[in-house]
Structure 1
């Protein structure tokens, strides 16, 4: 049975999470300069890269907080002893995620959503599909299956800068944004040796 004190502790934990989180939903996008590109690159390609980088800056904060949520969720679940306590905490998380994020996620385009799926894998080490499967209620709220189906987004997509050209570009955009303090840095859940990957791509070219 969940005691009154236990319920208060769980609720306060979630409240503190809410108070300490900060995501800028209306980001002011300043002019982006694509560097390290050949002079012969076409205008259309420059536009494509500009749009990709803009999307990365837009959705990364969601992926970052997803990783933070997973860490806190696991830590709190480990402290709870009964299924009833865990179920109650899961409901609290679900309600918060619905109120805080679902409306914002619905505003994302299909391409925004697919990049978000990749970045969630980068930050958590798990695909969005696996997260929903493992944490049914809370993660279903964070990434509604209705939204994914609406935009035909593959929730099983992984992030692989070493093998996927777009992912390599995304990683470069992220690292540059971290250096320039445009985005708050957060290490990936798995090792990404960007210099080594860059050397591999150059060899392929």
Structure 2
């Protein structure tokens, strides 16, 4: 009888161990365990999902000469200076496109375009006049990166073909080209600076 009882107990213990191996027990919660999270069953254990911020690893830039270093630092300064203007211009232009798509009224559309032109003029009037030639050239590129259209076409949409031609002629005198586009491969230094600054556009 005692032998039979021992066998029963042994079988019960084995069944419990087997059940535990098939269905792992929930972790014991402490008084501070109040954060809910998803878990994954891994090797018979429940492992919580932990989301960590993205880590971007970039190679250290090595300059051949001190002149190269100074040139790159100047480029970084100029890019960072004009980023806000390109971004703001992109926001204004995208809003215009959405507003135009919401109405078929020609008079309303003309008013929307006029309002957009006034906003961009107010944004750029004071500071843009003080930009250097290099900064202006970078701004033209970044406007294209931000809006996917050239500065020339942006002016044409807002002010008309004739005004765009006049602006292009003036720009060419000082060495600019409003029809210039942005190529990420060709402008790899500018692109690296933008990525390092944590800046991106709606085109991505």
Q: Structure 2 CA distance, aligned partners of 1:157 and 1:145?
A: 11
Residue 46 (structure 1) aligned with residue 69 (structure 2): yes
- How far apart in 2 are the matches of 1:37 and 1:126? 31
Distance 1:170 1:82 in 2: 41
How far did 1:146 drift?
A: 7.6
Contact 2:141 2:180 in 1 (8 A): yes
The answer to whether residue 172 in structure 2 is matched with residue 172 in structure 1 is: no
Distance in 1 between the 2:180 and 2:102 partners?
Answer: 31
**TM-fit CA distance, 1:168:** 0.2
What TM-score do the two structures reach when normalised by structure 1?
0.62
Larger Rg: 2
1:123/1:187 contact within 8 Å kept: yes
- Report if aligned partners of 2:171, 2:178 keep a CA contact under 8 Å in 1: yes
The RMSD of aligned alpha carbons is: 2.3
Once the two structures are superposed, the pairs formed by residues 143-154 of structure 1 within 5 Å of their partners are: 148-149=171-172, 151-154=174-177
Matched, 1:121 2:144: yes
Change (3 A) 1:37 1:99: closer
Rounded to whole Å, the distance in 2 between the matches of 1:103 and 1:147 is 18
1:119–1:159 Cα contact (<8 Å) kept: yes
Alpha-carbon distance in structure 1 between the residues aligned to 2:155 and 2:60? 38
1:187 maps to: 201
Q: Conserved in 2, the CA contact under 8 Å of 1:64 and 1:186?
A: no
- 2:103 maps to 80
Structure 2 spans left out of the alignment, 5+ residues: 1-58
Query: RCO higher in 1 or 2 (8 Å CA, sep ≥ 6)?
Result: 1
CA separation in 2, counterparts of 1:82 and 1:145?
30
Cα shift at 1:155? 0.9
Q: Distance in 2 between matches of 1:173 and 1:100?
A: 24
The structure whose residues are more often helix, as a share, is 1
SS at match of 1:135: helix
